[in-house]
Amino acid sequence: MTATQITELDAQVARTEDLSGLRCPMPILRTKKALAQMQAGAILKVTTTDPAAVDDLAVFCKQTGHVLLAQSPSDDGVSAQHWIARKP
């Protein structure tokens, strides 16, 4: 993702969750809880440090109908950011 694309997504974010330090299954459970409290179409930005979260969140979105808009590893190589739109 380019910096411009990230900036554009960040401008649309309705809620953020910093799930750094949490291991599977907690990032998925916290993401599910946050999305349940949001309106349809609203964008959630999640920050994770669990290496499995990239794949886990992709599978979670596919199974639940939420839309994974983007995923971006941070420059530190440890954390990642995920943008998810709540299903309609």
Question: Is 61 designated active site?
Answer: no
Rounded to 5°, angle at Cα 82 from 24 and 8: 170
* Count of beta carbons in the 10 Å neighbourhood of residue 80: 20
Catalytic-role residue among 1, 6, 14, 24: 24
Q: If phi over 0 gives left and psi between -120 and 50 gives alpha, with beta otherwise, what is residue 78? A: alpha
Q: How far apart are CA 30 and CA 35, in angstroms?
A: 9
> Which residues are catalytically annotated?
24
